[in-house]
Amino acid sequence: MKEVTLKQIAENLGISITTVSKALKDYPDVSKKTKTLVKQEAKKLRYKPNVFAVNLRTRESKTVGLIIPEVVHHFFSSVINGIIEQAEKKGYLVIILQSNESYKLEKKQVDLLISKRVDGIMISLANKTVDISHLKRVKELEVPLVMFDKISKLMDCSKIIINDREAAYTATKHLIDSGCKRIAHFRGALLPQNSIDRFLGYKKALEDHGITYDSSLVYICENVDYEDGINAAKKLLEDHDDVDGIFAITDLAAIGAISVFNERGIRVPDDISIMGFSNWFVSSAITPSLSTVDQPGYEMGVKTFKLLYKEMKARRKNKEFEPKTVELETRLIKRNST
Amino acid sequence: MKEVTLKQIAENLGISITTVSKALKDYPDVSKKTKTLVKQEAKKLRYKPNVFAVNLRTRESKTVGLIIPEVVHHFFSSVINGIIEQAEKKGYLVIILQSNESYKLEKKQVDLLISKRVDGIMISLANKTVDISHLKRVKELEVPLVMFDKISKLMDCSKIIINDREAAYTATKHLIDSGCKRIAHFRGALLPQNSIDRFLGYKKALEDHGITYDSSLVYICENVDYEDGINAAKKLLEDHDDVDGIFAITDLAAIGAISVFNERGIRVPDDISIMGFSNWFVSSAITPSLSTVDQPGYEMGVKTFKLLYKEMKARRKNKEFEPKTVELETRLIKRNST
DNA sequence: CTGAAAGCGCTTACAG
DNA sequence: CTGAAAGCGCTTACAG
């Protein structure tokens, strides 16, 4: 099938390519009559502009890049959802890349997106990301950039986050309020900011309520997943028989713990209370249903793209853009595990 | 920051753009000395070819499109995973679009991908897709196309599927083998092929084992999700008190049913046995753990891209390509709900 | 209101 | 082995 080009239309109509181009884009200096003629012909031939040529001329790809640690993850899936929806509204396509929590891969992905000349990049950092030189490069090249959820405080760019410390504080306080005296924490890896912040919120809540912080009650869940939760729970049962509450960094880890307790006849919440984090929809499906903190993934996606869009718009007009940090609300959700 | 172009390098070195271009691409008719010089300079200036120009010249975008009903879905997440991984290996980027199970949106997405000139398209149909004229157009334009999982039999293109009918048969037979006499089916919408096939597998299994098919035992779960499972289970309890087995079209629907039974003190599997479909990892985390059919999402993604790649390669060389249909193995997984 | 011309940055057939 | 030239399909400043 032969491609339809401006030239084609111009020849059919016996006018110049210039005029055809202008007519299709509704330039004010083309007569109404010509416009109608051109548009009609374009429709008839099913003309579609060749984006490759348009990109080259306009220096824009109308495509944005998204780098996340993992696609197969309820929270990120929701974020993707929000981003794609907004992007489509504005006529942007989203290229999604997965870092698999690897620093090396993440760097490669950034390079890939840059070489594809995306108009902007959104990123949530891998757990293993140790420095941000690759992001500094994005800034140098003046490619708009927004970080979300897993951010680096060192990077000067727009950010969409939740207040992890506060949310963790509230979650821990909820355990205390429901009578827990010995509260363990399943935390994430040591590097990620949100893992640190949730840990600090947990610690602060204990201290503010006269409970001595005991580091032996903190277990590291490297991948914050179901398996990790199972393992941490098993170890906890070996180490401590007096723990009556757990604040887990993710619902997944919490659910892992619950499954261990269910199996061993340990009653939740009578013997031990459990708090998750994320409000994955499965949390309400398990038995007992899981108390957790609602983390607004979809909203985060929406806000992330919107902020990126603003920056891209400013960039296009060569205007200055002042990076912004937006903090989204979280919400404690009480169910049957506490 | 000034963009580095071939021209830049050529000027710095006092040679022609042509030679620079050829040297960088290791054309055999450029001297070794020139090549080294050019490559050195390119590296020094951090030269990156302008993909927009390359695309325009080569008529390739090195980008493929993926349309799926939903991102936030364990099965599709795994497929995405497999696709992205393979694509990256071959230097392709993946644009992911979501149809939200809408026919209209799906058509729009196809148009979008075509207008972006992706080198190939992978698609899993929306539940509400009623005809395939939009896919026929893809074929007309000679854009390589692979369908996976939710396919249309009417479309002449490559397909990656599982044998839904057989898998459903095996699942139902498993219920029969464990003693069930009155087996209900929570099926999907009426249109999708895999919803039809799973239903037919269920029916055939009953008939082959001397159980009369009773259409009042078949409930439609329009979105095959958790909510649907809850509703269907509630209705089932109202309608029939003699059912002792359920084959649900998805794990999600099955888990919804289990949560209803758990709540009402109906014992699974003692009072009623339940089979899911998909082998979502949560199935092993709930109580009781769910028997199900393992559906190889990741593998499906890998195979899908590989097949698309073959077709794109043939297309590039203007060779004929014979569409293929690949059927992947499923596996019955017995857990505690049967 | 219309159009000739330059140019985006690359690739490649062709001549020397 | 090197390079001038054409061309991919579009946009837009400029002239008439």
**Distance of alpha carbon B229 from alpha carbon B225, whole angstroms:** 6
Residue A131 sits at the vertex; the CA angle it makes with A126 and A135, to the nearest 5 degrees, is 80
A140 contacts in chain B (CB < 8 Å): 1
Mind giving me the DSSP string for B148-191?
A: ESS--TT--SEEEEE-HHHHHHHHHHHHHHTT-SSEEEEE--SS
Q: What is the mean pLDDT of chain B?
A: 93
Q: Confidence class of residue B175 from pLDDT cuts 50, 70 and 90?
A: very high
Q: Is it the case that residue A104 has pLDDT exceeding 80?
A: yes
Rounded, the Å distance between the CA of A27 and C1' of C3 is 15
Q: What is the mean pLDDT of chain A?
A: 93
Q: Please, what are the domains in chain A?
A: 6-49 (no CATH), 61-162+298-332 (3.40.50.2300), 164-294 (3.40.50.2300)
- pLDDT (mean) for B226-235: 95
Whether B117 sits inside 8 A of A259 (CB atoms) is: no
**Closest residue (Cα, C1') to D3:** B16
Which of B1, B5, B72 is the best substitution to test chain A (most A C-beta atoms within 10 A)?
A: B72
**Distance of alpha carbon A336 from alpha carbon A284, whole angstroms:** 9
- pLDDT (mean) for B185-189: 97
Closest nucleotide relative to residue A18's CA, C1' based: C3
Q: Is the Cβ atom of A322 within 7 Å of strand C at any atom?
A: no
- Minimum distance, in Å, between the CA of residue B209 and any CA atom of chain A: 34
Closest-CA residue of B relative to A140 is B1
pLDDT of residue B262: 87
Select from B55, B282, B285 the Cβ nearest to the Cβ of A55. B55
pLDDT of residue A334: 97
What distance lies between CA B93 and its chain's CA centroid? 16
- pLDDT (mean) for B288-296: 95
**Distance of alpha carbon B320 from alpha carbon B318, whole angstroms:** 7
pLDDT digits (tens, 9 = 90+) for B93-149: 998 888 988 999 999 999 999 989 999 999 999 989 989 999 999 998 899 999 999
Q: Is the Cβ atom of B18 within 7 Å of strand C at any atom?
A: yes
pLDDT of residue B332: 97
**Closest residue (Cα, C1') to D7:** B57
Q: Is B177 left (phi over 0), alpha (psi -120 to 50) or beta?
A: alpha
Composition of chain A by helix, strand, coil, percent to 5: 45, 15, 40
pLDDT of residue B301: 97
pLDDT digits (tens, 9 = 90+) for B135-157: 999 998 899 999 999 999 999 99
Question: Which SS3 state, helix, strand or coil, does residue A222 take?
Answer: coil
Q: Kindly report the bases of strand D lying within 7 A of a protein C-beta atom.
A: 1-5, 7-13
Q: Is it the case that residue B26 has pLDDT exceeding 80?
A: yes
Q: Please, which residues have CB within 8 angstroms of residue A49's CB and are 6 or more apart in sequence?
A: A6, A24, B115
Q: Kindly report the bases of strand C lying within 7 A of a protein C-beta atom.
A: 1-5, 7-13
- Minimum distance, in Å, between the CA of residue A13 and any CA atom of chain B: 24
- Minimum distance, in Å, between the CA of residue A112 and any CA atom of chain B: 9
**Distance of alpha carbon A260 from alpha carbon B285, whole angstroms:** 9
Q: Which helix (H) or strand (E) holds B283?
A: none
Exposure string for B218-249, b = 16+ CB within 10 A, e = fewer: ebbbebbbbebbbbbbeebbeeeeebbbbbbb
* Contact by Cβ (8 Å): B204, B164: no
User: In this structure, what token pair is assigned to residue A111?
Assistant: 């390079």
Closest-CA residue of B relative to A55 is B52
User: Which residue type does A326 have?
Assistant: V
pLDDT digits (tens, 9 = 90+) for A292-320: 999 999 999 999 999 999 999 988 888 88
Q: Is it the case that residue B2 has pLDDT exceeding 80?
A: no
Whether B287 sits inside 8 A of A262 (CB atoms) is: yes
pLDDT of residue A263: 84
- pLDDT (mean) for B272-278: 97
Whether A59 sits inside 8 A of B52 (CB atoms) is: yes
| DSSP H helices in chain B | 6-13, 17-24, 32-45, 51-58, 74-89, 103-115, 133-140, 164-177, 193-208, 226-239, 251-263, 297-316
User: In this structure, what token pair is assigned to residue B18?
Assistant: 């042509």
Whether B93 sits inside 8 A of A72 (CB atoms) is: no
Q: Please, which residues have CB within 8 angstroms of residue A271's CB and are 6 or more apart in sequence?
A: A244, A261
Question: Which SS3 state, helix, strand or coil, does residue A134 take?
Answer: helix
- pLDDT (mean) for A146-153: 95
Q: Confidence class of residue B71 from pLDDT cuts 50, 70 and 90?
A: confident
Of A2 and A99, the one with more pLDDT: A99
Of B77 and B149, the one with more pLDDT: B149
pLDDT of residue B319: 84
